[in-house]
Amino acid sequence: MNSHYYQVQRKVLVLGLIAGLLGLSACGLLPAKVVGPTSSLANSSNTEASTPLPAVAKEYSSLASLQKKARFSLLLPQSLPQDLVFSRGWISDSVDGTETVHLVYSEPGDPLDANLKVVDIFQSLSPEPVTSDSLSQADKETALGVIQMQVRGRTGFAYWEQSVAAGNSAHLAWREGGVNFQIVLFGNWPAPTAATPHPLDSRLQQIAASLQSAH
């Protein structure tokens, strides 16, 4: 779920995609290759053993329009800080049938400002499970401090990623009803570090617990 196509659209949103696109394809959270402005980041985690699956990412400024285009029912957060609003989103479809929806909620301001408080939510209709092994395979050395925890009554994983450009980010990933989820927090949040790797786990859990069907 880096994490947030996560962590092009973050500096085209910057860093929402940096967290997300740095390799979630291996656990079914993102397509292995995105055709369009995000393709360079999407491909950054591919290995010789993986076969890129072309995908097209379409951007939406309207949440209602995005919901109508998604092939599956989305879960939307009901518990976010009041100053965080829907900023934009993307839908990407891979040739293997996987569809990934990326929602970005942020403080008002310049979307290129990496200091804005941002929540990225990824939802991927995929047959791939979310496991500690899949996260490690997807993010390689970037997934730090991976711990297992219950998320919405299901097995999930919390970890953090380090980035000089985007700032460190906190991640929560799990699978529910055939959909892989990931929530990513970065920007003006208490940053995870090696000394304090999980300062945002309770916030991630709160957002996850608040997710409700959009229909």
Cα 25 to chain center, whole Å?
11
Burial-class residue 209 by CB neighbours within 10 Å (0-12, 13-18, 19+): middle
pLDDT for the residue 28? 52
| For residue 87, pLDDT beyond 80 | yes
Bridge partners of 26, per DSSP, are none
Kind plus residue range of the DSSP H or E element containing 100: strand 99-106
Average pLDDT, the chain: 78
Could you give the strand order of the β-sheet that contains 118-125, starting from the edge strand earlier in sequence?
55-60, 85-94, 99-106, 118-125, 179-186, 169-176, 154-161, 144-151
**CATH match of 15-213 with 3.40.50.300:** no
State the pLDDT confidence band at 111, using cuts at 50, 70 and 90.
confident
Which pairs count as long-range contacts for 62-65, CB under 8 Å and 24+ apart, including other chains? 63/89, 63/103
Q: What is the pLDDT of residue 110?
A: 85
pLDDT level of residue 134 (50, 70, 90 thresholds): confident
pLDDT in tens, 186-196: 899 999 999 99
pLDDT, average across residues 55-73: 92
**Contact between 149 and 54 (Cβ < 8 Å):** no
d(CA 118, CA 15): 9
Q: Over the stretch 147-160, which tens digit does the pLDDT of each residue have? A: 999 999 999 999 99
